Structure 1
């Protein structure tokens, strides 16, 4: 209980009952408003709830209590308060109460109720505020989308809450396992000599070892500032982390530091990164180092709210050269939105960036997404499905190198409460066990010109990150090939065939959450194929002019026969369609008629020469 709260209670005890009700409520309201203005929403909620006891049906107090509860992540309490506002409201005093109740229902996973409320809000207030109108329409669509995700839940993951000494009633986040060592950051520590009441919390970087969590190193053991977001480079000889401090009651500003890691595992002296990365007028945080095998360089990913970004918080990257120098940060615009995009994690085995965002279509709050690195840029952003994502905030995704386990932080159901009474706050670390899916790749090959199935192609499957040939199939007599795939991988396939230009396609299995078949169609463009037919007298072997040549397409009866006579030449030229069989017939008065069959299947060249000898 903080000092201000104790003073208010003392004042209540020594004052007459009639005066108490009036003066004490004013004191609680003043304290609540001051706390809310300072973004100390936990204290504000406590004061508003106390004031609410004197006027239980006061819409203004109910609305302010609901707002404080929402901002304090006390969703169940916020739901109750917004509902009472709507029941009491008159003259449309709080038009956003319907919108925020819909938002809270969505955060609690009550998607159908949320959808109904968004519809009510739009029917009554569409156009009143452009931002809320646009967002209500988006979230209305998101509710239906989330219900579909739940109906098609991922079948290859099992999520469990980390127990023991890792999680606490405070926020625990940025978990990762390097070998047998589990590192994470925790906000369970009180800021020393803090002048603010109640005491503010700070984070330290911890290691969970022998059933206990201990501070990793003395450089992370400052009792006045926060340390968090530990990440290592590829060689594990350098680490990066953040040092942060409060700018006021709630706002926090961070800078990114690097530190050498000695062979015995101890840390050297931290060094602040250059100012062009640590923008002085912004918070620069959540560093992650990722090795990109495509360009054989390491990336520093981080989050900043500096001016000039695409949204509120954006993800940036800087390339680290062999001398440890940093390029100027680049806004990763392909993954950034107009909202907040945070907690980047680069998964080197597949060159994939994982991150969280509340700006894309989501189930509520922050969801986890992935974007593969293709060629020289990041590709399409892919939502990582349910139940990895939930209606709550899901952030700080990290995945093991073998792809069999992962960790992330969430305030979903099952996380410990900071305040059990209000069911508020905080982030806990969850483990994900990943099972292998049975994913079958079906490749179908076609003639690009005719769109007909094209058999006898050679189809090769490659790992898109290493260009390693994984498997090769010769589809004898069929246009269908099959390969086994792994989830969360980047691939490309190439189909080749004699006489045809090859075709290729790139794809990934980032969004695949169920066993099944993935079909890719490849269209091979036939190279031009020419038939030169030459006619001769069989007995003299001399060139024979005036022969009538008839070319019949045996593979396609809809194609008309071609008939040609050259009175002054023995050479006849025809364009053939690869894959088709033809019959060529030669006749001339005074000579016997002859025929020949021409098979263009698997013909490698671009010219067929056919000599026809007519007997007399």
Structure 2
């Protein structure tokens, strides 16, 4: 419920101390602070509480109240200052240490926040009824601090962000951007004291003065309206209307239909099985697939997982009635016990974007994505930086026509010095798209057309990205920027061919055409003694750490002075990348006779610091999925993170904290890299006995390591079942069967 309260209740923010602070007695000023707080003017209340505390240092309850007001306003910098004096007094005040730690996290101080969360839960009494819930919340927040501390790992440097100008953003809250046409944006704002939808048009780099479209004038039943979504044909518009009985938001979804070019119908309230009585229903987003209109929306209705959840309902495209299917919850791959809000579905990519405060986040609300639709979703992934920040980030929306997209945040920016209001930001991606395509022919008969039954593999460095068996040997791949690819082509009876593509070499998008001619092998194939090649490059007498070999920096034989070529150059490059480059001195040695090559690491001896107090050990994985769904005897789950030609151990060090690595060799030269638990199951099997445990581990891997394409495999009696899955509701056997999306209630609600 966090964002509903923020956007509707805390829109009036005043600045500056009044003269009364310096002239009235402290008791009078205290009474004014209490009155301001009752009226919902939290800023003035905080200022007066602080003024009283400055005079009455023996009454820390006043700085605690000031801190609470700043915290409610999301003025986290002032909340840190005000809560600091009472952060350890959980006996007399309501969890000030937790709010203090949260405020630190949302001011971009994850290291200090991590210490504060640990200290709070350590000092919080285990006798309190909410101890376990708070312990889990602190552990989740600490994981978020760790995520923020690894910001560089999770940053997409190609994304550029800008705060929209003052024509769009005011000192109030702006939210819910709707890109429309090439140069038009609709958005919602509290600039006039109530939420309304505005329209602005861009000309060059400038936006026009926003206006409330005439189609809304005189048609609203409630004072606040916003959060809109057009159907693809622009014939229907879904949006939210809210009022504030007893200062509590009450929101419902309405729909307007286009009658003519200049006329729209009055808003129609969606049926009460969507706008459930007693629940808040908001944030509609509509998408059309085949003959269905799918409406995703947010609600705290009964039957959810906790807080605000994302739901969906459908109706037939072109339907003139208000008849929808019964709403369905999107399930645990999307929803948590916290709030999930502002869904946006990118139809072209098949990806749902949404914001969540129930998952591991860098700040408060972070933006996540999940591939799928309706009831089938993959594990949610954090979008990382810079789209997410230490602040709240939400309302993510993609627009190809606008060359990027928009989102909403209360983050600080060059022209934004406070976190108390939300503003609309634009993002664009300097993305270079490289495609490579061609045909595979017989070198002896180049004019005979493409071959058939050709196997083609795409590797990113040595990791298998994709493999295809082509009945007609014409291939096409879309390549990511700043990657080193190898494409390998094989066919029975022909030599294997391969070539490299480094997309870092491209300064703009390009379509590359490369045809490949396969050759029939000669009768006397070349036999290479790879051990002898390796021994020539690194002599075997360097078989001790006490006797390391200085690896040459250039591929030149130090004895003959000749450049390495062919297999010698291949092995040289492999040793340099896998071993020598890991040593600060480019030295290496064999681990004993016939041992493995290891990098030489010098020892650094310095002052020994006294041991610090150990932090509690926290399972780094998300706990989104239940781990008590034990599989039948003989069934386990494993996680595949990669399939590689050459295994390089240093690339998998990030996985060591969450399980053991296992391997499967396939097709002779491809090795699957798997993650399994450290201990065997009761059946003596290697794998996760619980599907939920496997998915919790997968969630961590996809969000915290580079293996974002990892997936879970079901194994029954030692045999793989299906091609793998990434979500709780996805079929484990690889079928594409879709669960029932909801029953129509046509007979009951016909004609609404």
The CA distance in 1 between the partners of 2:467 and 2:383, in whole Å, is 36
- The answer on whether the counterparts of 2:197 and 2:226 sit within 8 Å (CA) in structure 1 is yes
1:205-234 residue CA offsets vs partner (Å, 9 max, x unmatched)? 110136211112242565960110121101
Tell me if 1:61 matches 2:65. no
Structure-to-structure mapping, 1:494-513, within 5 angstroms: none
1:79-125 residue CA offsets vs partner (Å, 9 max, x unmatched)? 11112334xx6795447332222111111111111111122223322
SS in 1 for 2:63: helix
The CA distance in 1 between the partners of 2:413 and 2:297, in whole Å, is 29
- The answer on whether the counterparts of 2:252 and 2:275 sit within 8 Å (CA) in structure 1 is yes
1:438-471 residue CA offsets vs partner (Å, 9 max, x unmatched)? 689997599xxxxxxx9995397799xxxxxxxx
Q: Deviation at 1:278?
A: 1.1
SS in 2 for 1:349: coil
- The answer on whether the counterparts of 1:164 and 1:211 sit within 8 Å (CA) in structure 2 is no
Question: Closer, same or farther in 2 for the Cα pair 1:437/1:255, shift >3 Å?
Answer: same
Tell me if 1:27 matches 2:27. no
Matched residue, 2:313: 318
Tell me if 1:257 matches 2:254. yes
Q: Which region of structure 1 is more displaced relative to structure 2, 24-33 or 320-329?
A: 24-33
- The answer on whether the counterparts of 2:21 and 2:29 sit within 8 Å (CA) in structure 1 is no
Tell me if 1:413 matches 2:385. no
The CA distance in 2 between the partners of 1:223 and 1:46, in whole Å, is 36
Matched residue, 2:230: 232
Give the one of 326, 329, 332 matched to 1:331: 329
Give the one of 397, 421, 429 matched to 1:434: 429
Question: Closer, same or farther in 2 for the Cα pair 1:339/1:30, shift >3 Å?
Answer: same
Matched residue, 2:165: 163
- The answer on whether the counterparts of 1:437 and 1:514 sit within 8 Å (CA) in structure 2 is no
Structure-to-structure mapping, 1:329-368, within 5 angstroms: 329-333=327-331, 334-368=333-367
Tell me if 1:214 matches 2:184. no
Tell me if 1:154 matches 2:156. yes
Question: Closer, same or farther in 2 for the Cα pair 1:40/1:224, shift >3 Å?
Answer: farther
1:349-394 residue CA offsets vs partner (Å, 9 max, x unmatched)? 1121111010111111101111111697222211111110001000
Q: How many residues align?
A: 453
Q: Deviation at 1:252?
A: 1.5
* TM-score normalised according to structure 1 size: 0.65
SS in 2 for 1:236: coil
Matched residue, 1:52: 53
Q: Deviation at 1:159?
A: 0.3
Structure index of larger Rg: 1
Give the one of 261, 264, 271 matched to 2:268: 271
The CA distance in 1 between the partners of 2:60 and 2:314, in whole Å, is 54
SS in 1 for 2:336: coil
Structure-to-structure mapping, 1:298-313, within 5 angstroms: 298-313=293-308
Q: Deviation at 1:311?
A: 1.1
Matched residue, 2:281: 284
Tell me if 1:101 matches 2:100. yes
The CA distance in 1 between the partners of 2:373 and 2:456, in whole Å, is 21
The CA distance in 2 between the partners of 1:518 and 1:51, in whole Å, is 56
SS in 1 for 2:353: strand
The CA distance in 2 between the partners of 1:115 and 1:27, in whole Å, is 36
Question: Closer, same or farther in 2 for the Cα pair 1:43/1:22, shift >3 Å?
Answer: closer
SS in 1 for 2:140: helix
More strand by share: 1
The CA distance in 1 between the partners of 2:380 and 2:241, in whole Å, is 30
Q: Which region of structure 1 is more displaced relative to structure 2, 40-49 or 164-173?
A: 40-49
Q: Deviation at 1:317?
A: 0.5
Matched residue, 1:475: 490
- The answer on whether the counterparts of 2:298 and 2:309 sit within 8 Å (CA) in structure 1 is yes
- The answer on whether the counterparts of 1:230 and 1:239 sit within 8 Å (CA) in structure 2 is yes
SS in 2 for 1:188: coil
The CA distance in 2 between the partners of 1:474 and 1:429, in whole Å, is 48
* TM-score normalised according to structure 2 size: 0.54
Matched residue, 1:504: none
Structure-to-structure mapping, 1:397-546, within 5 angstroms: 397-401=396-400, 404-414=403-413, 423=418, 425-437=420-432, 444=457, 457-458=469-470, 474-476=489-491, 477-478=495-496
Q: Deviation at 1:289?
A: 0.6
Q: Deviation at 1:44?
A: 3.5
Question: Closer, same or farther in 2 for the Cα pair 1:299/1:206, shift >3 Å?
Answer: same
Unmatched runs of 5 consecutive residues or more in structure 1: 190-200, 447-453, 464-471, 487-492, 499-506, 523-616
1:185-212 residue CA offsets vs partner (Å, 9 max, x unmatched)? 11111xxxxxxxxxxx211111013621
Q: Which region of structure 1 is more displaced relative to structure 2, 354-363 or 256-265?
A: 256-265
